[in-house]
Structures are given as C-alpha cells and as structure tokens.
Structure 1
C-alpha cells in the first residue's frame, strides 16, 4: 500500500489530565480510527518544554505560547477527502458509544487533511519513493508553510540540503486539501533534537520571500503508555488548561 496523505492534528489537554488523556488516546482512540478503511497507521508525538523552546517567534496561534503540545498523524492509503469524511462521521459513533474523552479537558488546535506531494530521503538509505514515509525516527520536525508556488523550490533545493544533515533521514511534504496554499513538511529525525534542528536550519538555504512559515519545530515520538515528560509539562511555563 502506498501513502496517499495524512490526517494531521495539533492538540492539547489540561495538565492535570495528561496521563488519563494519553492513555485514552493510546487505548481507546487510536485503535478504532486506525481500523477504518484506508488508514495505514497512526503515530502520536509530544513537544515538552525542551521542544517548545526550539520553536521560533512568530508561529501561528495554534503553535505559539506552548500550544499544541501534542500531535497525532494518521497515515492514509486511500482517498484523502473520503477518509477525512469517514473519520469525521465516525466521531459521532464514538460519541454515541460514550468513548470520547470529556471535551472540556482537551482541544484540537489545528486539524487538516493533506495529500502526499513529494518525499526525499538521505541518499545513503537507498530508499524507494514508497518507503520514505515509513522511515523510522525518534522525533519529527514539522514545518507548516504557505506559498505553494514555492513547492518545486522546496523539493529541488531545500529537501536535498535538509537530508544532507546528520540525523535527518527524510523529508515528506503534503499539501492541504482544505487550507488554500498550505503545505506541511515532516522531517524524520534521529538524535538530540536541539542539535539536529540547529544543524538543519544552518544547512538549508533561506526560503523564498513568498513563503510564510506558520510552524517550525520538533515533536518527540510518544512511546505508547509511557509518559515520562508529563511532570515536565506540569512544572513548566506551558499552559496548564486548554481554556
């Protein structure tokens, strides 16, 4: 099965519900959604204070001031619009079955459905195009940008420079089905995210002036049912409630 796109969601929960919400997500929310037709798998990520501090000033509201501490990505192998519609409808089934976490304790800051546009891997991996979205990683570096007229530049100029950086295994780019002129680039990285992100920014050329970046920062891959960063979030400057 070939990757066709992703469902992308930036989320938050109240700090006093981190463990409960994450267990609900791992045990009760990911499984029924992954079981839907044309969903290959789902992965979850977290941006604790150390990762949040790597975001530059000027990010979109959904990613500024400690927001979107969590990220869910569903990888799709069918019609992107159809999967998004099915997942939206199925949410009501889960609500009726009393399988949803209390709305007042969590929030979706940004949700989108995006189609796969291009993928570039470190040449040393000798990956086939279909392999690239599945390359393993410890963290994922997310760049949300606007200006699809620059998409060829990002594929031909930016991506080769990015994957030349030690610790950057691949870059996979998606275009939004619902937000005009919007793309999300996912960098599969390994190693100390602060070091890799600094090297990535130093090694890649300045983006075209027509490109507007709304998010530029890493998330740590969540190991299911293990949340050692929960206390870091609770003891930090990050928002403690979703209100």
Structure 2
C-alpha cells in the first residue's frame, strides 16, 4: 500500500501525541533503562520522518516527594515519555509501531523484562501557550531547552458534558494565564485522550504539561505555597486527579537519581 505524502508538521499542527508512564521494576536497572532509551530507542524514533519531536522526563525521588498520585497504577511510574506525530498521523503512527516491532525481533528491547507501562496512550493536543518571556513560537516550544515539566493528569467520566466544558474554560481562562505569569514557566500544552469507539461518550484522560525554565522541584515548592486558583465548588468533582507533580529533564549519561546516596539528595537531578 502506497504511503500518503508526508505533510510538514510541527507540534502546533500535530493532531496526535503519544504518552507513556514507564516504571522500572528492578531498582538495579535504571541506568540500563536510560542507556537503552536515550542511546538506542529514542534516536531511532526521532529519525522517523513521521515523528515531529519526542521528549522524556524523570520523576526523581525529590520530584516524587512533591507530587500527588491518587491513581495507584501511575503512582509507581518513574518516567514520562512523549512523541508528537506528523500528518497523516495514521501513517506516521503505523511506521512508528512497526519500528517498535522490528526492534523486538532485532533483540533491541531488553527493557521489556524489567519495565511496566501502566499508561500508554495516544492523545490529541488541545491547546498550547507560550509565556511572553520565552519569545519562541508555539511550534518551537517543545524544542526549546527546559529543565523539566509540571504534569497534571486527570480523568473526566464523560466528555460531552456541560461541566467538562465549564471546567475546561476555567482552566484555560484562569489557571493557564496564572501559570504563564509565574517565574520559570516557558509555556503550557494541554491534551486529551480520544474516547473509545465502543464508548464514544466514555471517560477521557486529560494532561496538562507546564514547561519549566525553573528547577522543577523549586517550582513545585513555590506552587504548593501559592496554589493555582481553584475551580468553582460546583466543578470541583468534574475531573478526578490521577497524577500531579514535577518531573526533571534528562541529561545523557547523568542517570544517578535512584543510586544511593543520590536518591536522598534535594535537587531535581537527585
């Protein structure tokens, strides 16, 4: 079957993004996992013409202490990975999945024996914002160097509901401007999962990523001391929080966050 012509895409024009929340089940394999992902798996993904961009972050012990994890499955995840896909998204995602399958048969997926992924899902970008101080375009925001992200993952039980629309409006009109005005924030992207075909009005997972120039641990501390405006009481139960907290950007070969005594450190890279 002939592949459709690739349409030049950026994160601003992408209609699909993949999110994964991996957990390394063997504490002794964190360095192995990061070496595999950063030096083998991720470069092959980024080399695909249909992958616009990809990134990953780590929930260090210092980050974990400042987060909230109501969902038991996501509570154990230590990493967050994402990829943006070019149009036509179906072709780009198909080639990306084929790469993953080929890697298995090439013996290049050693991590399968000691990792779990409690959430791996395709999402649709909803809206993106750039803080005025960042200067770059929205298309460039994910490429701009940053020190980490503040991730907020939640679930709504039914998407086509007035309360969901009202909550989303409050978030975009009140909370996001508050975030963009804070020191150390470069921008914000929001995402939603696509409802299942069998239950189109069913639950939807939502993600808000705040890109940080600030140390993510320090940002989380400041946010805890000065929280975002809370939604009106009538909307308080519209979305169920699943995971909220900071994650640090990953520097190649600096993978000691879960080593002792590094795991007792105080900074984002601890």
Cross-structure match for 1:6: 17
Give CA-to-partner distance per residue, 1:130-153, whole Å, 9 cap, x none: 333434310111111223523222
Question: Is the counterpart of residue 18 in structure 1 residue 30 in structure 2?
Answer: yes
TM-score by length of 2: 0.77
Question: Is the counterpart of residue 134 in structure 1 residue 127 in structure 2?
Answer: no
Cross-structure match for 1:220: 248
1:234: how far off? Answer: 8.6
- Which sections of structure 2, spanning at least 5 residues, go unmatched? 1-8, 197-202, 265-270
Give CA-to-partner distance per residue, 1:66-95, whole Å, 9 cap, x none: x11112122333344544443333322111
Of 175-184 and 95-104, the range deviating more from structure 2:
175-184
Aligned partner (choices 191, 201, 208) of residue 174 of structure 1: 191
Distance, in Å, in 2 between the alignment partners of 1:129 and 1:27 is 28
Question: Is the counterpart of residue 108 in structure 1 residue 108 in structure 2?
Answer: no
Aligned partner (choices 54, 58, 71) of residue 46 of structure 1: 58
Cross-structure match for 2:4: none
TM-score by length of 1: 0.85
Question: Is the counterpart of residue 69 in structure 1 residue 110 in structure 2?
Answer: no
Closer, same or farther: CA 235–125 of 1 in aligned 2, 3 Å: closer
Cross-structure match for 1:195: 218
Aligned partner (choices 154, 171, 174) of residue 171 of structure 2: 154
Give CA-to-partner distance per residue, 1:143-202, whole Å, 9 cap, x none: 112235232222122100111111122110011135642211110012232331233352
Distance, in Å, in 2 between the alignment partners of 1:28 and 1:203 is 39
Of 201-210 and 181-190, the range deviating more from structure 2:
201-210
Distance, in Å, in 2 between the alignment partners of 1:15 and 1:91 is 24
Distance, in Å, in 2 between the alignment partners of 1:234 and 1:103 is 26
Aligned partner (choices 143, 152, 175) of residue 143 of structure 1: 152
Distance, in Å, in 1 between the alignment partners of 2:217 and 2:35 is 28
- Which sections of structure 1, spanning at least 5 residues, go unmatched? 237-243
Distance, in Å, in 2 between the alignment partners of 1:228 and 1:26 is 14
Closer, same or farther: CA 131–101 of 1 in aligned 2, 3 Å: same
* Structure with greater Cα Rg: 2
Distance, in Å, in 2 between the alignment partners of 1:8 and 1:33 is 14
Of 159-168 and 187-196, the range deviating more from structure 2:
187-196
Closer, same or farther: CA 151–16 of 1 in aligned 2, 3 Å: same
Equivalent pairs, count: 233
Closer, same or farther: CA 105–125 of 1 in aligned 2, 3 Å: closer
Of 39-48 and 129-138, the range deviating more from structure 2:
129-138
Look up the SS of the partner of 1:154 in the other structure. Answer: helix
Distance, in Å, in 2 between the alignment partners of 1:223 and 1:75 is 20
